Amino acid sequence: MLSKLVSPFSLAIVLIAGFSSMPVAVAVEVQGHRGARGLLPENTLPAFEKALDLGVDVLELDTVVTADGIAVIHHDHALSKDNTRIDGAWLNREIPLNTLTATELEAYDVGRIRPGSRYAKRFPDQTPVDGTRIPKLADLFAMVAARGDKTVRFNIETKRSPLEPGATPEPETFARLLIETARNAGVLDRITLQSFDWSTLLAAKRIDPAIPTVCLSAEARWLDSAEKGKEGASPWLGGLDVDDYGGSIQKAAKAAGCAVWSPYHRNVTRIAIEKAHAEGLQVIVWTVNKADDMRRLVDLGVDGIITDYPDRANGF
């Protein structure tokens, strides 16, 4: 189980103990989502450096795998028309990353959002960094090492969908690649692996039971990963059926071997958090971008917050 680390940046609330008038500070972990997506191009070295400059506890990132088996940091299975150019021209079609080698991928610039796109409207304050490339996972580890940072941790998501199994390697291969990349960089003790596709997490535990895993979940119109009350197991839960656990996503996450339950922040209630804590799970919520929501979730008792705007989590 992850520990609550007190850092100068960690959110803090003041609790008044019933037997004392002395305040007690409780640290809440802050994770920079895709580095600092609201401020700089997502999942890029500049965004991760910005998050480090802001003092986050954890760098949260996504991984996919190239045609030649290299783990790279990218959210989607394909290059997007909304933030990708080649030779200065915007892409006119999506290009699957598993059709490109790591060397071929270096030709593409992901340092700017396409003006007028829905993505641009969502992140109007993102500063472009022209010439930015999609980094390898090993590149991020090397950059952090070059800065001399020996404390920041890495929350690495496997962008694998059971609905598109051909877009990424099989769970065992995917998990092993990430673990070996971290081991080669000397940061294996500083990673967690997270996924909506729990089969990858189960594979990671088979490879190295000591690696903490994070069970992501969502209960929304755009994704219902638990599928409570539906016949059979959800394809997202690695063969587990949440209804076998009384409909408790927390109990299912515990059965999957996860140290952390990471739900969509709008699905979280105080009771849900208490149930997770009763199972020995930490609760790290995503993706929280409004300061009022951060305060509310801290008050509910979450252990950590993933945000596109780490700067907004500082100072309250």
pLDDT in tens, the chain (316 residues): 333 333 434 554 333 233 333 344 468 999 999 999 999 999 999 999 999 999 999 999 999 999 999 999 999 999 999 999 999 999 999 999 999 999 999 999 999 999 999 999 999 999 999 999 999 999 999 999 999 999 999 999 999 999 999 999 999 999 999 999 999 999 999 999 999 999 999 999 999 999 999 999 999 999 999 999 999 999 999 999 999 999 999 999 999 999 999 999 999 999 999 999 999 999 999 999 999 999 999 999 999 999 999 999 975 5
- Residue range 11-313, CATH number: 3.20.20.190
With 0-12 CB in 10 A as exposed, 13-18 as middle and 19+ as buried, what is 213? buried
Q: How many CA atoms lie within 13 A of 28 on its CB side?
A: 27
pLDDT given at position 15: 33
Nearest to 248 by CA among 281, 226, 221: 226
The per-residue b/e assignment along 47-71, b for 16 or more CB within 10 angstroms, e otherwise, is bbbbbbebbbbbbbbbbbbbeeebb
The whole-model pTM stands at 0.93
The full set of domain ranges for the chain reads 11-313
Instruction: Please give the helix or strand (H or E) that residue 23 lies within, else none.
Output: strand 23-33
**3 vs 289: CA distance, rounded Å:** 24
